[in-house]
């Protein structure tokens, strides 16, 4: 009779092992990405220059294939002199693509080309102030909630920016309260290293019209891009793959100088983030020359050292969650250890059911 309990125990163990083998994988079955075109309000004189042609924002939607459709989407907003390639770098995507990595973990993302960049409409530079940027994002959020991206009316939208894009995201979330459920601000603090930014702008930027890669776009003189070779010293630490920097250089874009000025003042330096009434995730690279260190009066050696300087810029509803990526520069998502930054983002996203 002793054989019966042993046989029963063996069957239970086998059953548990089989159940474990049949459990869903940690990664999604696959990733599907597609380009989506959305109408937005045209800034400035664009309607007069192109009558009957509204402005459009184009973006890339990535989601997991197989399984349940995500109900939360991340709206990704790139920084100045970038386009949506920041979120899906065409070099070793298994290591550097934020969008594809998120989709493999079952999460949906929509990375936009801001107006003036990538495949979105190209207005004149002067009207591209922070209000115009915010209005376009507000309208994109509406499209996401109404099912015009991916065929899903997303119940929750989390807006995540990088650098200048973070300033625009902060301003948008504060102005259009109720639009989003969460905010991610990456590559940014509230006190930039102004001397470094000044020298970097003076030596590292030039009109897009003069750029060998972007000069054929027909931009007006106040659209600027980084000079060839400037991105490495400005945006990266020595913890970056030179080939990733080269891919970044090959996909660079332009930024409106007047618009960037309004973002710096109203989206970064002034405490607009006090108006954000949803949870906030703020992430920076430890070696970010533009926002950390002596000239920025920000100690980015850890989240604990950074918190005392940044926390006063947020209200209690922000429930500020800080993350510092060790050894990373300004473009923290494109460094060798960027997986740690994405893992931290996913942990924070769990509160939204993402």
What's the confidence (pLDDT) of residue 215? 85
What's the confidence (pLDDT) of residue 153? 97
Flag whether pLDDT at 122 surpasses 70: yes
pTM for the whole structure: 0.90
Higher pLDDT among residues 24 and 102, named by residue = 102
Residue 258 near residue 224 (C-beta atoms within 8 A): no
Residue 224 near residue 207 (C-beta atoms within 8 A): yes
What's the confidence (pLDDT) of residue 42? 83
Higher pLDDT among residues 214 and 293, named by residue = 214
Rounded to 5 degrees, φ, ψ at 237 are -105, -175
Rounded to 5 degrees, φ, ψ at 306 are -80, -30
Write the pLDDT tens digit of every residue in 296-332.
899 999 999 999 999 999 999 999 999 999 999 999 9
Q: Which residue spans within the chain are E strands per DSSP?
A: 30-40, 55-65, 72-77, 108-112, 156-162, 182-186, 205-207, 223-226, 255-256, 280-285, 321-325
Tokens coding 286: 């430890």
Integer CA distances (angstroms), 324 to 99, 261, 287, 302, 303, in order: 20, 26, 10, 6, 6
Full set of structural domains in the chain with CATH: 26-43+55-352 (3.40.50.1820)
What's the confidence (pLDDT) of residue 66? 83
Averaged pLDDT, 194-203: 90
What's the confidence (pLDDT) of residue 2? 40
Higher pLDDT among residues 18 and 150, named by residue = 150
Flag whether pLDDT at 247 surpasses 70: yes
CA angle centred on 25, ends 23 and 29, rounded to 5°: 125
What's the confidence (pLDDT) of residue 48? 44
* Rounded Cα–Cα distance for residues 159 and 285 (Å): 19
- State in Å, rounded, how far the first CA of the chain is from the last one: 51
Q: Among residues 245, 243, 218, which one has the least CA distance to residue 229?
A: 245
* Rounded Cα–Cα distance for residues 347 and 320 (Å): 14
What's the confidence (pLDDT) of residue 45? 55
Residue 300 near residue 58 (C-beta atoms within 8 A): no
What's the confidence (pLDDT) of residue 27? 55
* Rounded Cα–Cα distance for residues 348 and 186 (Å): 13
Would you call 113 helix, strand, or coil by DSSP?
coil
- CA dihedral in degrees (150, 151, 157, 159; nearest 10)? 30
Averaged pLDDT, 141-162: 97
Flag whether pLDDT at 337 surpasses 90: yes
Write the pLDDT tens digit of every residue in 199-225.
998 999 999 999 999 987 767 999 999
Averaged pLDDT, 282-296: 94
Write the pLDDT tens digit of every residue in 54-92.
799 999 999 999 888 899 999 999 999 999 999 999 999
Rounded to 5 degrees, φ, ψ at 48 are -75, -35
* Rounded Cα–Cα distance for residues 183 and 321 (Å): 11
Would you call 168 helix, strand, or coil by DSSP?
helix
Q: Is residue 212 packed enough to be buried (19+ CB in 10 Å), middle (13-18) or exposed (0-12)?
A: exposed
Give the model's confidence band at 294: pLDDT under 50 very low, under 70 low, under 90 confident, else very high. confident
Write the pLDDT tens digit of every residue in 307-317.
999 999 999 99
Residue 263 near residue 167 (C-beta atoms within 8 A): yes
Q: What is the mean pLDDT of the chain?
A: 89
């Amino acid at each position: 009779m002793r054989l019966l309990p042993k046989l029963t125990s063996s069957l239970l163990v086998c059953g548990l092992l089989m159940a474990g083998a049949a459990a869903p994988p940690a990664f999604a079955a696959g990733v599907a990405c597609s380009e989506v075109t959305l109408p937005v309000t045209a800034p400035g004189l664009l309607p007069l220059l192109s009558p009957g042609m509204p402005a459009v924002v184009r973006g890339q939607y990535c989601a997991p294939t197989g399984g349940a459709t995500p109900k939360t989407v991340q709206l990704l907003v790139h920084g100045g002199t970038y386009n949506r390639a920041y979120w899906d770098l065409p070099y070793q995507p298994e290591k550097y693509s934020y969008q594809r990595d998120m989709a493999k973990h079952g999460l949906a993302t929509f990375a936009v080309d801001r107006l003036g960049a990538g495949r979105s409409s190209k207005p004149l530079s002067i009207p591209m102030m922070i209000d115009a940027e915010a209005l376009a994002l507000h309208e994109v959020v509406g499209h996401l909630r109404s099912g015009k991206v991916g065929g899903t009316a997303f119940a929750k939208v989390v807006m995540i920016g990088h650098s200048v894009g973070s300033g625009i995201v902060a301003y948008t979330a504060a102005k259009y309260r109720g639009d989003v459920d969460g905010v991610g601000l990456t590559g940014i603090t509230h006190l930039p290293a102004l001397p470094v930014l000044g020298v970097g702008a003076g030596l590292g930027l030039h009109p897009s019209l003069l750029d060998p890669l972007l000069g054929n776009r027909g931009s007006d003189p106040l659209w600027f891009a980084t000079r060839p070779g400037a991105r490495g010293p400005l945006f990266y630490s020595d913890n970056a793959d030179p080939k990733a920097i080269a891919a970044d250089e090959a996909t660079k874009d332009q930024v409106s100088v007047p618009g960037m000025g309004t973002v710096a003042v109203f989206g970064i330096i002034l405490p607009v983030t006090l108006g954000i009434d949803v949870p906030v995730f703020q992430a920076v690279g430890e070696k970010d020359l533009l926002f950390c260190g002596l000239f920025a009066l920000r100690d980015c050696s850890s989240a604990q050292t950074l918190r005392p300087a940044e926390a006063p810029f947020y209200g209690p509803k922000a429930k500020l969650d800080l993350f510092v990526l060790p050894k990373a520069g300004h473009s923290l998502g494109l460094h060798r250890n960027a997986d740690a930054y994405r893992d931290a983002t996913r942990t924070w996203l769990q509160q939204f059911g993402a």
